[in-house]
Each structure stands twice: as C-alpha cells, then as structure tokens.
Structure 1
Amino acid sequence: MYQRRAVKRSNCFHKNGHHAKCITSNYPFMVIFACIQIILSQIPNFHKLSWLSILAAIMSFAYSSIGLGLSIAKVIGGAHVKTTSTGLIVGVDISGSEKVWRTFQALGDIAFAYAYSTVLVEIQDTLKSSPPENKVMKKASLIGVMTTTLFYMMCGCLGYAAFGNKAPGNFLTGFGFYEPFWLIDFANVCIAVHLIGAYQVFAQPIFGFVEKWSSEQWPENNFINREIPVEIPCCGTYCINLFRLIWRTVYVIVTALLAMIFPFFNDFLGLIGAASFWPLTVYFPVEMYIARRKMKKYSFTWTWLKILSWVCLVVTLVAAAGAIQGLAQDVKTYKPFKTQ
C-alpha cells in the first residue's frame, strides 16, 4: 500500500532531511490492505456500501484539495521551475519515441479515470423509483463528470505550474511536497481510505455477478446457496454464506499477490483503463442509445455518434499500446519482492 509507505517515508524525510535514503518496503502495508479488504468483502452486496462510498468520496475531495492548496502555495512562493508548452523537451529531457509512448500511457490513465460505467448500473439499482432512476442518474453523472474533470484539470495545470517538467507522477506519494509533513501524512491517509472504498466499489459488482451466475447454475447446492445466520454482539444477525466467504477471500488474496509480484501501478491502470474505456464506456452505451432512439442510418446524430465511437476506439488502442510498452520496460529492470 503505497500511501501507508508514503506516510512512513514522509516522517523519515522530516526527521533526517529531504535527501535521506528513506527506503521502506511496500509489502507489509499491502498485506494489511489485503486483510482489510478480506473483511470488507464480506459485505453482502453493493446496496450495503453507501457508507463506505460516501467516506471514500470525502477522502477524495480532502486529498485533492490538499494537493491543490500545496501547489498554489508553491506557485505563490515564486520558486522558478522549467515549463514548456509541450512538456519534456525531446532530445534534452527525453527521446522522441519515449515521449510518444508516455503520451499513450497518459491517455490510458485518463481513460481509467472515466471508466466508471462498470458500476453505473449497480449505483442506479440502489436508487428509489421516485423520482425516476434514469433522470436522477443523468443528473448525477453530469455533476460527477464535471466535478472530477474540474479537479483533474486543476491538479494537472497547477501541479505543472508548481513543478514544471520535473513534476513527479504523484505529488503526494512521489514527494513533490515534503512540508508540512503532518499535512502530507494526512493526505496520504485520505488516499489510503479512498482506495479501500474504491476497491470495494469496483469489486462488489464482480462478486455479485459470479455469485448470481453460480446460484443459477447450481440452485440446489447448499454450499453456494445456504445462508447461515450468526449472532454478532452489538451488530445483530449476520448471514454467512460459505461460498461467498471462500471465493471473495481467494479473490482478494490473488489480487494482492499479483499486486505484490507486479507493482507497476500506473502502467496497469493505463492498461485496465484502455481495455475497459471504449467497449464499456463508449461503444455499448452509444449503440444502445442509437437502438433505443431508432436513429436513421447516416443521419446527423447517428454520424457524429459513430465518429465519437471510432475516435475513442483509436484512443483506446494507442493507450493500450503505451501501457503494454510501459509494462515491457518495467519488466526488464524489475526484481520481484525487492524493496525500492
């Protein structure tokens, strides 16, 4: 868990100086994160996640605001940084091919940030029927996309103004800022809590799909379908399902092991974002909209929706290529379970 590691390194830098070799292993914190997820994964379904989702959203606003505030303070402080209209200078800071690949990787990261369609239906299913769910979700999606885009743009622009061409991949965990260390610690704790909630928001639909499919395939199997009520002091009755308990625990353990073996966070995000962005966020919604509206082929709206879909497909393909290239480069120098 990079954020918990970042807290420990932040305290080390504060105590020993910014140039100290504060080397801390990620793996103990990743194990702690996995243990927390094993417990939270026993939440029966997406409908019971509202409190965790709200907490994660609050944490997201908190650490984003801290990052913005620190960037503004650095800019106001007048520290001179090297900036250019096109970023890193080809031939000076980076080679031409490497810049192209990094641009593709950045597109994958951006795509991942907007690939929320996998949980959209699950969220809509938790809403009351009055007012109509589709109208509420349309308004919520518009506000959500506008808000996140505003924060992304502000973080990108102000972060670049503060650090220029030497901007770290993550201002908080990458130590663009060192002081005040207690505020950096708090921001990283917020990121950790946010990721705990985000893991569940994206994992619960997977859990629900597998369990529903298994129940339909083997309706008479007690191991899959039997709910065992257990009295928990101060919490009431909790129903334990052995299949849910075992399969969700195995899922978390496997994902944790993969994260420990291949800790290439940004490149994996880019690849996942590229793989899910076009088919789930663009293609299927566009095709369903066209079918529902019964649009005439080659009409004005039909044509522009098709152009949008094809442009997004190109973005997905180049982002996937960039992510794969990044992973290939990482693997060349990677040594499993070595502390950085």
Structure 2
Amino acid sequence: MKGFNTEQDHPAAESGNVYDVSDPTKNVDDDGREKRTGTWLTAISTTTFFYILCGCLGYAAFGNKAPGDFLTDFGFYEPFWLIDFANACIAFHLIGAYQVFAQPIFQFVEKRCNRNWPDNKFITSEYSVNVPFLGKFNISLFRLVWRTAYVVITTVVAMIFPFFNAILGLIGAASFWPLTVYFPVEMHIAQTKVKKYSPRWIGLKMLCWVCLIVSLLAAAGSIAGLISSVKTYKPFRTIHE
C-alpha cells in the first residue's frame, strides 16, 4: 500500500510543475501567436528525471521503510554540511512558495471584509510608516493581525497532524485525476474536435483511464497509511513514515 502512495507523489508533485514551468517559458511569434520553445521540453524533462530518480533510488535503498523525507528522517546523516545546506534551500523555497499560494486566500478574505464592513476603521484604515533606506510603507492592522493568525493556525495544524506524506498523497490522489488529466483532456478533445473512436481519441481516453486507476490505487495507499499513522499518533510529535 505504501508503494501506491509513493506512486502518487510523483504525478501529484509533477502536475503543478507543468504549469509553473510552461507559463514562464511561453514565446510569441511576430503575429502574436503563442509558440513553444525547446526550453519547455528541457525543463519538464529535467524535473521529471530528478523526481523519478529520487523516488526510485530511495525505494530501492530502503524498500517499504523508505522515509518520507530523506533529509530529516533516517535517510542519511553525513556529511552534515550537505544536509544543512539542503534543508536551508528547502526552507528558502517553501517560504517563497507559502507567500505565493497564500496570497489568493489573503485577497479573498480581505476583499470580503472590506465589502461587508466598509465603515469599520480597523479593517479599512492604513497607517504610513517610514522605514529608513526603504521609504514609506502603508500598514493595515487588520492585514497584520489576520495574516499572522492565518500563518500561526496553519503551522499549529501542521504540527498537530504530522503524518504529512499520507495526507499529501490523499489530496494528490483526489485532485490529480480530475484537475490534471480528465478536464484538460476533455477540453482538448472538445476544442480541437477530435473525432470519436479515432486513434487519437482512443489514446486520450486510455490515458484518462490509466491515470484514474493510478489515482484510485494511490488513494487506497494513502488511506492505509493514515490508518497506520493514527494508531501511533501523538500530537506535536514527528512520525517517521
């Protein structure tokens, strides 16, 4: 079952990178039409290679006892400077990623609050603060309190539920097939008017069914992992998966 969960981690993590990489590498010709360059293929191939390499080598080395995080679990301990440097890089990456993915939530809540309580000075007021060498910044006490509370709550929730990989696998299994495979494929078929029962149509449908089976197996593995983790669950304690 853990193998099924591991199997889902690759497509779930990879699916977001497809859009992250493809959007910045767009190129436009003289007629204003979008065209793709070799950069897109190189970026996706490189990312896919490292994901598969990490998963396959880790599973080959540790089998079903492969840790969820090779840097913080029992994957290896030396050289210490390399592990510390890798963890610093991960922290640097996640700090930026957290900011990016949290912005839509911040904007949604703040716009709704401003719309519902336009006369509330705590929500609408901003104060100008002069920071040496950086100039003036407008600070809202509501944004400061709300965003800080959001970060604290999400951090506490993450600490309470430490079996991260099983939860991530279940979320990935639930979202991978419909959002990354089924809807894009169906939109492509409708937009390009792919003829029904043609080789291309059959190939796309087979892709959908194969990915659906992968997602179902991954969901089963994630649920089994959650059940196993709950048996030894202790709040604010790290569980080595």
Which residue in the other structure is 2:236 paired with?
337
Aligned to 1:96: none
TM-score by length of 2: 0.76
Q: How far, CA to CA, are the matches of 2:184 and 2:111 in structure 1?
A: 24
Q: Which residue of 2 aligns with 1:175?
A: 74
Residue of structure 2 aligned with 1:113, choices 1, 7, 13 = 13
Partner Cα distance (1:222, 1:307) in 2: 56
RMSD of equivalent CA atoms:
3.6
Equivalent-residue separation in structure 2 for 1:153 and 1:301 (angstroms): 27
CA shift at 1:157, angstroms? 4.1
Cα 1:238–1:302 change in 2 (3 A) is farther
In the alignment, which of 219, 225, 234 is matched to residue 133 of structure 2?
A: 234
**1:1-40 maps to which residues of 2 (within 5 A)?**
none
Residue identity in the other structure for 2:151: V
> Quick check: 235-244 or 173-182, which moved more?
235-244
Q: Which one-letter code corresponds to 2:118 in the other structure?
A: N
Q: SS of the residue aligned with 1:151?
A: helix
Find the partner of 2:147 among 248, 251, 270. 248
The answer to whether the aligner puts 1:218 opposite 2:135 as a matched pair is no
Partner of 2:4: 104
Distance 1:294 1:320 in 2: 33
Match of 1:150 among 42, 46, 49: 49
Instruction: Specify the SS of the correspondent of 1:308.
Output: helix
Q: Unmatched 5+ residue regions in structure 2?
A: none
Question: How far apart are the structure 2 equivalents of 1:113 and 1:160?
Answer: 17
Cα drift, residue 263 of structure 1: 0.6
| Equivalent AA in structure 2 for residue 218 of structure 1 | R
Q: 1:124-172 CA distances to partner (integer Å, 9 max, x unpaired)?
A: 4x88985669536x766533321111112332344456x3536544332
Taking the aligned partners of 1:104 and 1:299, their CA distance within structure 2 comes to: 32
Shift in Å, 1:274: 1.2
- Please say if residues 109 and 270 of structure 1, whose CA atoms lie closer than 8 Å, have aligned partners that are also in contact: yes
Which residue matches 2:103?
204
Q: Secondary structure at the match of 2:182?
A: helix
CA contact (8 A) 1:107 1:270 kept: no
Residues 339 and 179 of structure 1: CA distance in aligned 2, closer, same or farther (over 3 Å): closer
Q: Residues 229 and 299 from structure 1, CA distance in 2 versus in 1: closer, same or farther, beyond 3 angstroms?
A: farther
Question: SS of the counterpart of 1:218?
Answer: helix
| Sequence identity percentage | 57
CA displacement, residues 69-93 of structure 1 (integer Å, 9 cap, x when unaligned): xxxxxxxxxxxxxxxxxxxxxxxxx
Which 5+ residue runs of structure 1 have no aligned equivalent?
A: 1-100
In 2 relative to 1, CA 308–172 (structure 1 residues): closer, same or farther, beyond 3 Å?
Answer: same
Q: Distance in 2 between matches of 1:229 and 1:120?
A: 38
Cα distance in 1 between the residues matched to 2:118 and 2:38: 42
> How far off is 1:200 after superposition?
2.7
- Give TM-score scaled by structure 1 length: 0.57
Determine the structure 2 residue equivalent to 1:259.
158
